[in-house]
Copies of this chain bind each other. A is one copy, B any other.
Amino acid sequence: MTTSYRAAGVDIAAATRAKELMAEAVRSTHGPAVLAGMGAFGGCFDLAAAGAAGQSVLVASTDGVGTKTLVAAAVGRYDTVGQDLVNHCVNDILVQGARPLFFLDYVAAARLDPDQMAAIVGGVATACRAVGCALLGGETAEMPDVYAPGAFDLAGTIVGVVERDALLPRPDIASGDLIIALPSSGLHTNGYSLARRIAGLGTEGDPYAARPAILGGQSVGEALLAVHRCYLPEVLALRAAVPLKGLAHITGGGIFDNLPRILPAGLGATIERGSWPIPPIFSYLVARGQLAEQEAFHALNMGLGMLAVVPAGAAGAALDAVPEAYRVGVVTDEPGVRLV
């Protein structure tokens, strides 16, 4: 009796096929800064060709898309979570003032399905191209016994660059500064374990196929898979128009945990209820799950995808620069974030 690697649950041929399917998508993201043809173990990126100068600071962030992967697998749609991942990571370095340079992805599952993997990485490449970010490398891992059948995980790392004097947040955020919200497209990539549980409450069949009236024709699955918005264009427009003081990407922990991260010690903020429209998927989840307001705003972004802090006199110019933004609150001299 011989034991083969394939019998042990690892299919190297499938992995190779997945890589071939991904190769073209990956190459489509490569600009002149990517050194090609290295037959490489690691990707090579030429800083000077990307316009990085002497005072450049690299900004790096690793993140995943949480159990949004389970919704994607249940709905059978694999091309959007890759976009979610990249956009999440781009937003995470935007808040430091950085622009994206390159990205690396990590996809793992109990068993590699080459077409699913290609769809996932194709989504990663699509979102990278949209922001001029090179998909420099990545890893697909077949992990029998680690992952639940049909489940997969997706994580990624972004590296961006910022000149020292453009780093955010600026230290001069002060009481009285205004808070502008850039609207989210939905849950983005946080709160999916809660959302999946609520969607499944009292349901025998497929919880994602339901089309409750509040979603206006969309299924729950479609609303939950709405792609995480990338705020690069809006942030560039804001920075060109006003002295932007800080940005908070509203991810896990919601406004309560994320906004304080950019506020100087001793300061807090109030966010006015009703000052922005809450997307229907949140109203659906809050009602169906009977979520308390604090719980909802802690687990979910509730429509507030990115918060920007601008000087009091700059709100008009900010809203002119980004017409779909809302003025939602103000920085106060009382610590903590309060809904008022």
Which residues of A come within 8 Å of B, CB atoms?
1-5, 7-10, 12, 35, 38-48, 52, 54-64, 66-67, 69-70, 92-93, 95-96, 98, 102, 104-106, 108, 136-139, 141-148, 151-153, 155, 157-160, 162, 164, 167, 169, 191, 193-194, 196-198, 201, 249, 252-253, 261-262, 289-292, 295, 298-299
Contacts and interface: CB of A to CB of B under 8 A. Distances in A.
9 contacts: A5-B193, A8-B193, A8-B194, A8-B197, A9-B193, A10-B193, A42-B60, A44-B96, A46-B164
Q: Which 4 pairs between the two chains have the least Cβ-Cβ distance?
A: A42-B61, A157-B157, A62-B104, A3-B289
A139 B155 contact: yes
Given A67-B146, A145-B148, A155-B106, A60 B47 contact: no
B2 A69 contact: no
Contacts of A46: 57-58, 164
B261 A41 contact: yes
A195 to B, nearest CB: 8
A158 B41 CA distance: 12
Chain A residues touching B, majority SS = mixed
A46 B102 CA distance: 17
Nearest to A157: B157
Given A2-B290, A56-B47, A146-B148, A104 B61 contact: yes
A153 B159 contact: no
A66 B10 CA distance: 11
Contact of A7 (B38, B138, B197, B292): B197
A42 B247 CA distance: 13
A40 B96 contact: yes
A261 B193 contact: no
Given A155-B155, A197-B7, A2 B147 contact: no
B136 A60 contact: yes
Given A104-B60, A139-B155, A147-B148, A197 B45 contact: no
A136 B159 CA distance: 11
A44 B95 CA distance: 12
A40 B59 CA distance: 10
B95 A41 contact: yes
Contacts of A299: 5
Contacts of A138: 62
A194 B10 contact: yes
A295 B48 contact: no
Contacts of A3: 194, 197-198, 201, 289-291
Contacts of A146: 67, 69-70, 147-148, 151-153
A149 to B, nearest CB: 9
